[in-house]
Amino acid sequence: RPSPAAAPDRLPFSRITQEDLAFFRKILPGRAVTDPDLLESSNVDWLKSVKGSSELLLRPETTEEVSQILKYCNSRNLAVNPQGGNTGLVGGSVPVYDEIILSTALMNNILTFDSISGILTCQAGCVLENLSLYLEDRDYIMPLDLGAKGSCHIGGNVATNAGGLRLLRYGSLRGTVLGLEVVLADGRVLDCLVTLRKDNTGYDLKQLFIGSEGTLGVITSVSILCPRKPKSVNVVFLGCETFEQLLKTFQLSRGMLGEILSAFEFLDSECMRLLNTHLKLRNPISDCPFYVVIETSGSDSTHDGEKLHHFLEEAMTSSLVTDGTVATEDSKIKALWSMRERVTEALTHDGFTYKYDISLPVERIYQLVTDMREHLGDRAKSVVGYGHVGDGNLHLNVTSPAKDPALLAAIEPFVYEWTASCNGSISAEHGLGLKKRNYIYYSKPSQAVALMGNIKAMLDPKGILNPYKTLPDDLK
Ligand code: FAD
Ligand code: MLT
Ligand code: ZN
């Protein structure tokens, strides 16, 4: 029996003809790519776990060009795979068969920045790190940050409703994204690119596209509310003996650090082993079963330093943490953050990675790792846990020397049943993409899924936008 994560049969979309190629070459001179060598990297996802066979990569520069492309594809019944930085982790960013890849890589202009309100508008293909650097020069920061910042696009971030390392402090993109411009499947341009903090005129349509993973429209521009750059940032890296103590440390940090707490992340000793082995990163403290990265961001270094000092004193004297190190200067802050941010990369060197991104009541998150280890025994190479404690978001990852269908069958649906039994979500932040679409019912009632199908049918009646993704096969 094929796994529910496997691709369904190709749907009856048209195949690209010479006339189609001539059209695209005319509207995108030099930017309709057919060279197989150039297409190779756009056909494979970051994890190298899904490979499509698209023969055409389109690189528009303007909204008008995206509109022309989609209008044409819709009339010709050609399937389209919107692609940003191709860092997605659920197989949503690459074609399954021969879908045309529509890349936002050349849509990378900053449009406006209001230094009084902190509202930025930019094209969807701006790389997150470039936006961060632009803002930092102006004393602002992006409200989101993630390990893929050097490659991911803001449009891809919005399309996946990416969470990341700053969500605890600045909230989700559903709050910070103020407006979107989106091209619909038939080429109509939906201009909801407002730059207002408050706007209650009717339904908030932009929310439909946040987290829609390229299935409802192509996001072409984004307006986003950016926080001021904190004047004082501290990062501490601590070790805990048990997950219980880690949770108590989290509670203590919320109480004692209050408004300056900006991140509370964790990794387990298995992650540390992979960082040491594969990336040669050295543990900055003594070996412990659990590690936390706590960041504070505020406006007064003396005040923040005092608060942090009292918190650390309390955490040490009450034996919640066994060892730790503090960083205030930029290079050490970066080094400590890389212990958390580079776990994803370390895993890719360990073998084929099965990734799970689970939302749970925070006190349950590590139990799933322990139970999975016991459940899999020696069938897995490594079973590791890390994630965003402050958001109740566990990243459970299982590796094996190579792709292993028997191992996958042992993990799924076990992991989803476990999650559903705690009323958790099977995707906290990465989305469903190709790999998880058929498991949606573990986290959403069938009425909600049916309504999603109605919305898809209304906005994309021919289903040309990112087919085989997000929605389960039984809707079609
Ligand atoms: P892609 O990977 O290109 O696409 C992702 C999805 O969005 C696809 O379904 C695609 O069709 C769609 N899409 C892309 N652009 C558009 C557009 N303009 N319009 C419509 N649809 C579009 N995610 C988190 O939430 N938190 C993390 O902390 C985090 N850390 C990561 C760390 C690493 C090292 C890596 C590799 C990934 C991480 N991710 C994380 C996964 C993640 O989803 C993203 O990296 C990011 O948001 C995807 O952006 P992208 O531009 O690469 O989009
Ligand atoms: C993270 O928090 O590191 C990311 O979501 C990537 C991952 O899950 O590996
Ligand atoms: Zn994450």
Q: What is the pLDDT along the chain (476 residues), one digit of tens a residue?
A: 678 889 999 999 999 999 999 999 999 999 999 999 999 999 999 999 999 999 999 999 999 999 999 999 999 999 999 999 999 999 999 999 999 999 999 999 999 999 999 999 999 999 999 999 999 999 999 999 999 999 999 999 999 999 999 999 999 999 999 999 999 999 999 999 999 999 999 999 999 999 999 999 999 999 999 999 999 999 999 999 999 999 999 999 999 999 999 999 999 999 999 999 999 999 999 999 999 999 999 999 999 999 999 999 999 999 999 999 999 999 999 999 999 999 999 999 999 999 999 999 999 999 999 999 999 999 999 999 999 999 999 999 999 999 999 999 999 999 999 999 999 999 999 999 999 999 999 999 999 999 999 999 999 999 999 999 999 999 86
CA distance 273 to 432: 29
Instruction: Judge if the beta carbon of residue 159 lies within 6 A of ligand 1.
Output: yes
Q: Strand, helix or coil at 406?
A: helix
Torsion sign (Cα): 213, 217, 222, 227: negative
CA 388 remoteness from chain centre: 12
Cα-based distances in Å from 196 to 119, 451, 455, 464: 9, 29, 26, 32
Looking at the CA of 337, which ligand is closest?
2
CB-facing half-sphere around the CA of 435: CA atoms within 13 A: 25
**Quick one: how far is CA 65 from the chain centroid?**
27
Q: How far is the CA of 323 from the centre of ligand 3 (A)?
A: 25
Q: Which of 426, 448, 445, 428 is nearest to 437 (CA)?
A: 426
Residue 233 CA to residue 231 CA, distance in Å, equals 7
Cβ–ligand 1 distance for 221 under 6 Å, the answer no
Nearest-CA neighbor of 265 among 85, 155, 89, 391?
391
Q: Give me the pLDDT at residue 401, please.
A: 97
**What distance in angstroms lies between residue 60's CA and the mean position of ligand 3's atoms?**
30
Single-letter code of the amino acid located at 52: G
Q: Could you write out the three-class secondary structure of 75-114?
A: HHCCCEEEECCCCCCCCCCCCCCCCEEEECCCCCCEEEEE
Are 344 and 267 spatial neighbours (Cβ–Cβ below 8 Å)? no
pTM: 0.98
Q: How far is the CA of 345 from the centre of ligand 2 (A)?
A: 9
Query: Of the candidates 393, 398, 452, 389, which has an alpha carbon nearest to the alpha carbon of residue 428?
Result: 393
Instruction: Residue 238: name the closest of 340, 115, 116, 114 by CA.
Output: 340
How crowded is residue 454: how many other Cβ atoms within 10 Å of its Cβ?
10
Tokens of 444: 């959403």
pLDDT of 5 reads 86
Q: Which atom of ligand 2 is nearest to the CA of 395?
A: 8
Residue ranges lining ligand 2, Cβ < 6 Å: 147, 344, 357, 387, 395
